[in-house]
């Protein structure tokens, strides 16, 4: 049994190429669950795209990327002397570190005198970074490869970015997260002699939703009478068919069920009870016979029990059914690239 991510390879790669064309200098972000595809596969895709650099989220993700991608790897989390000082990858000349504080930079350079860095500025995101007032001096001492800014989701970033660019006029390269193509064009017009390099994950890997689909196997389909109890929780069910499909909590199924709840009341219940408890009251993300049936009870670890209403023809064991999932929290059993 399996919950697999099926990918139309040609279409997916066309979309990647389009994104790269629209945002030259783009740095592919390859982190976490690899946007559902896995980080190794995405490193191989970045290799195909021919980009000179990819970005990983954490130092824990660095060895894998260095092994599967042949060129530079930027680490998005800041280098911290207290945490990362002993990592063997610090000496690798393909690694570009993010620094936010002078002490960390000093420590890093004590390990590797010519360690490559970018300096992060503290934006309205408020996560990591050197505040704007101290940034110009730090950029000068760091002798890095650019300044990086991580912006909140949404648009309207040009004014904030411009304040940084004007405050550090000698810095040529700016790595930017969560800027639109229109914002990039605007920045390039305002500052024609600077280089703006967007760091992009979601739009690059998940930009064309028609290029991929999660599908689950039907493992069982059985008529069920009104009031019959099933599952760990022995809840009475309405009449219809009980359909067991592959895909459970270990795959990330129902991670977003509160948002998928049909009504405000259901959403309120979902928030009050937690996503999994609420899951049986909301539509499941599986499409069976043209409908999205409810969970008979919260998803199990590797499969889910669905209640197909009366009047809907049951699927056959072995059929596959589409699953609507947020891929940033999906862990499919396999990626089937065609």
Q: Which residues bind ligand PLP (CB under 6 A)?
A: 29, 31, 57, 76, 150, 177, 199-203
β-pairing, 320-323 with 212-224? antiparallel
Contacts of 137 (CB under 8 A, 6+ apart): none
| Least CB distance to ligand PLP at residue 267 (A) | 24
Residue showing the smallest CB distance to ligand PLP in the complex: 201
Bridge partners for 117 per DSSP: 97
Q: 140-145: list long-range contacts, CB under 8 Å, 24+ apart.
A: 140/170, 141/102, 141/105, 142/99, 142/105, 142/117, 144/99, 144/116, 144/117, 144/118, 144/119, 145/96, 145/116, 145/117, 145/118, 145/173
| Least CB distance to ligand PLP at residue 199 (A) | 4
Helices 158-167 + 181-190 axis angle, to 10: 40
Terminal-residue alpha carbon distance, the chain: 20
| Least CB distance to ligand PLP at residue 31 (A) | 6
Nearest CB to ligand PLP, comparing residues 168 and 327: 327
DSSP label of 206: S
| Least CB distance to ligand PLP at residue 13 (A) | 18
| Least CB distance to ligand PLP at residue 70 (A) | 22
DSSP label of 262: S
Q: Which two tokens mark 275?
A: 């996503």
| Least CB distance to ligand PLP at residue 203 (A) | 6
Contacts of 227 (CB under 8 A, 6+ apart): 236, 237
DSSP label of 242: E
| Least CB distance to ligand PLP at residue 83 (A) | 17
User: Can you tell me the distance from the alpha carbon of 299 to that of 176, in angstroms, rounded to the nearest whole number?
Assistant: 39
């Amino acid at each position: 049994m399996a919950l697999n991510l099926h990918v139309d390879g040609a279409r997916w790669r066309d979309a990647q190429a389009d994104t790269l064309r629209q945002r030259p200098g783009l740095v592919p972000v390859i982190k976490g669950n690899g946007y559902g595809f896995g980080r190794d596969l995405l490193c191989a895709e970045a290799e195909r795209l021919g980009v000179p650099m990819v970005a990983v989220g954490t130092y824990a993700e660095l060895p894998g990327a260095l092994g599967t991608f042949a060129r530079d790897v930027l680490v998005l989390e800041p280098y911290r002397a207290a945490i990362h000082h002993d990592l063997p990858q610090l000496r690798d000349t393909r690694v570009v570190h993010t620094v936010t504080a002078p002490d960390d930079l000093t420590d890093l350079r004590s390990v590797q005198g010519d360690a490559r860095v970018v300096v992060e500025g503290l934006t309205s995101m408020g996560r990591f970074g050197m505040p704007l007032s101290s940034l110009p001096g730090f950029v000068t001492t760091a002798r890095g490869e650019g300044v990086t800014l991580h912006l909140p989701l949404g648009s309207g970033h040009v004014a904030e970015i411009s304040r940084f660019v004007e405050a550090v006029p000698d810095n040529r390269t700016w790595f930017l997260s969560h800027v639109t193509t229109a914002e990039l064009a605007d920045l390039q017009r305002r500052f024609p002699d600077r280089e703006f390099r967007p760091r992009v994950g979601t739009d690059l890997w998940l930009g064309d939703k028609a290029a991929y689909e999660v599908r689950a196997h039907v493992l069982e389909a059985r008529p069920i009478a009104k009031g019959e109890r099933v599952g760990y929780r022995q809840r009475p069910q309405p009449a219809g068919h009980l359909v067991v499909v592959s895909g459970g909590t270990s795959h990330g199924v129902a991670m977003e069920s509160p948002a998928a709840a049909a009504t405000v009341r259901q959403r309120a219940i979902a928030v009050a009870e937690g996503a999994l408890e609420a899951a049986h009251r909301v539509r499941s993300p599986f499409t069976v016979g043209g409908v999205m049936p409810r969970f008979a009870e919260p998803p199990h670890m590797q499969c889910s029990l669905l209640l197909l209403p009366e009047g809907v023809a049951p699927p056959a064991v072995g059929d596959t059914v589409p699953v609507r999932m947020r891929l940033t929290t999906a862990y499919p059993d396999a990626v089937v690239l065609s």
